[in-house]
Amino acid sequence: MSKIITRNPKFDDVSALRSIWNKIFGSIGEDAFFRHYYNSGLCIVAEDEGVPAAAGYLLPFGHLQCGPDSLPCSMIYSIATLPEHRGKGFGSAVVNELISLAHKLDHPVVVLCPSEDDLFEYYSKRTAFGDWFYAFEQLINEVPACESLFTLNEISVNEYHDMREKLLEGRIHIVHDLPTLEYQAMLSKELGGGLYRIDDACAAIECQPDGSVWIKELLLPSLPGDPSTSDSCYQKTIASIAEHFPAQEYVVRCPAKVGNGRRFGMLAYTKDLEAKMFLIDNYPWYGLAFD
């Protein structure tokens, strides 16, 4: 097989990029991304006979707070390969080139949230990514009954940022910058949700096209315990959200306790950081992945 050609997109590639996005992800988020986030210098395509067959995007979106170290990081976003070109190495070529691009931009840490579980193995075998982030995730079909509920207040991006950092203080996590949170707020609004304060907790909420409600990031004053046990603050918060956003199904995602999470995100980093990038036992928090 001939060498795969990767490059930044040209001006007349944008319609092809939008077409790839639409075929793989649907129309949700497409306009918001290309209006507010798209930058040809931060996009890599793998071409077939001069036409993009796969694409991916680099989003500089904050830094990784790892103890006393604050490390600039980028997120690799929306890796997509047209179905007829899959299995040929186009996707992994795009990912590897995006990692190199991030390091050239002096972003020593790069993160990725695979959309499916089997992609963790795919990326770990073909790229510099390894498992690193975990999340406590629960599917709820029966909302707990509570005698009293919290009030939901939609808050600004700045307010969410400040509350988020207060709740994550001392925990290894990605500190999302304001443009990243503004993009999440746009996506949530497009899907009938938003950024909310719920008493002393905060959450990014989306109403999905299938009728379910995704609580994409729920941050509480303390971490929830095992889903099979009672956690009154967690249950009351979920019940309060359900009162405001009635649905048949809820997907809740929040930081994990040790031993109580699933793989959620991956991390790649420059060699000079290798000594610092060990898997730390309080489960680093990825946060918003725009999935």
Query: Do 141 and 197 share a structural domain?
Result: yes
DSSP SS3 for 205: strand
Same domain, 108 and 166: no
| H-type alpha helices, the chain | 14-25, 30-36, 90-104, 118-126, 157-167, 178-190, 232-244
Coil, helix or strand at residue 194: strand
Question: Does some domain include residue 74?
Answer: yes
State residue 243's pLDDT score. Answer: 96
139 and 101 both lie in a single domain: no
**Does residue 143 form part of some domain?**
yes
Q: Assess whether pLDDT exceeds 70 at residue 1.
A: no
Same domain, 144 and 246: yes
Task: Give the count of beta carbons closer than 10 Å to the beta carbon of residue 215.
Answer: 25
The per-residue pLDDT for range 204-247, each reduced to its tens digit, is 999 999 999 999 999 999 877 766 666 788 999 999 999 999 99
Query: What percent of the chain has pLDDT above 90?
Result: 73
- Average pLDDT value for the chain: 90
- Which of 52-61, 66-75, 251-260 reaches the highest mean pLDDT? 52-61
Query: Does residue 127 form part of some domain?
Result: no
The pLDDT tens digits for 169-186 are 988 899 999 999 999 999
DSSP state of 44: E
State the pLDDT at residue 261: 86
Q: Do residues 85 and 169 share a domain?
A: no
Percent of the chain with pLDDT over 70: 94
Least confident of 75-84, 87-96, 251-260: 251-260
Note whether 12 and 63 are same-domain residues.
Answer: yes
**pLDDT greater than 80 at residue 124:** yes
Torsions phi, psi of 264, nearest 5? -125, -40
Position 147 pLDDT exceeds 90: no
Residue 173 lies in a domain: yes
On whether both 87 and 17 belong to a single domain, the answer is: yes
Q: Which of 81, 112, 143 is the last residue of a domain?
A: 112
142 and 95 together in one domain = no
Q: State the Cα–Cα distance between residues 234 and 100, nearest whole angstrom.
A: 41
Query: Using 50, 70 and 90 to split pLDDT, how confident is the model at 92?
Result: very high
* Angular region, 174: left φ>0, alpha ψ -120 to 50, beta rest: beta
Q: Which of 21-25, 67-71, 156-160, 273-277 has the highest mean pLDDT?
A: 156-160
Q: CB count, 10 Å around CB of 49?
A: 6
Give the domain CATH number at 164: 3.40.630.30
- C-alpha 76/C-alpha 128 separation (Å) is 13
Same structural domain for residues 88 and 186?
no
Segment 184-191 shows an average pLDDT of 93
Residue 229 burial class via C-beta count within 10 angstroms: exposed 0-12, middle 13-18, buried 19 and up: exposed
Sequence-distant (≥ 6) Cβ neighbours of residue 218 within 8 angstroms:
201, 202, 203, 237, 252, 253, 254
Q: In this structure, are 140 and 234 located in the same domain?
A: yes
Same domain, 142 and 243: yes
In a shared domain, residues 108 and 182? no
| Range(s) of the domain holding residue 20 | 5-112
**Which pTM does this prediction carry?**
0.91
DSSP, collapsed to helix, strand or coil, labels residue 269 as strand
pLDDT tens profile 157-167: 999 999 999 99
pLDDT at res. 27:
87
- In angstroms, the CA 135 to CA 174 distance is 13
State yes or no: pLDDT of 20 exceeds 90: yes
Total domains present in the chain:
2
Asked whether residue 290 is assigned to any structural domain, the reply reads no
Pick from 26-35, 196-205, 255-264: least confident = 255-264
Would you say residue 21 has pLDDT above 70?
Answer: yes
**Residue 259: inside a domain, yes or no?**
no
Strand-strand pairing, 69-81 and 109-112 = parallel
In the predicted model, is pLDDT for residue 40 greater than 90? yes
Q: Other C-beta atoms within 10 Å of 232: how many? A: 9
Mean pLDDT of 73-89: 93
